[in-house]
Every structure is written in C-alpha cells, then in structure tokens.
Amino acid sequence: MDVSSTSGIPSAANAMLANQTASASAVSVLKKSLDMQAETVAALLPTEPAATPGQGLPENVGRNINITA
C-alpha cells in the first residue's frame, strides 16, 4: 500500500472547499448587485414621462419606412 499517494487528498479537499466558498460569496455579491440595479430601475421608471406617439410631429411623419436605402 502506497501511503505517499494519498497524502495530497486532504490538501486537495481543502482547496476544493475554499473554491466553493469563494464561488458562493461571488454569487452572493452578484445577486445583491442585481437586486440593487432592479431597485434603481424600479425607482427611475415611474418618474419617466410617458411619450405619446407622434408627439409634436406632422401626421405623415413616421408612417413609411424606406427599405430600398
């Protein structure tokens, strides 16, 4: 039985555990960042005035699209 080949297992397990912990904390920071962005967008959307189509434009503007250009 070769004991020297199994001596790296505890250090590999510790490295995997540290990697899992780092990944979990990175995901947690990402989720908090996304939540903050969603709150910011939710706060900004109601303050934006609703645009009406053709506001201040002549009646013929915006009816045709030039597809040959």
Catalogue the long-range contacts made by 2-7 (C-beta closer than 8 Å, 24 or more residues apart): none
Per-residue pLDDT of the chain (69 residues; tens, 9 = 90+): 455 566 778 888 888 888 889 999 999 999 999 999 999 988 888 766 666 666 677 777 777 787 885
Q: How high is the pLDDT of residue 27?
A: 94
What pLDDT is stored for residue 1 in this prediction? Answer: 46
pTM reported for the whole predicted model: 0.48
51: phi > 0 → left, psi -120 to 50 → alpha, else beta; which? beta
- What per-residue confidence (pLDDT) applies to 4? 57
Alpha carbons 33 and 19: distance in angstroms, whole number: 21
Query: Do the beta carbons of residue 54 and residue 61 sit within 8 Å?
Result: yes
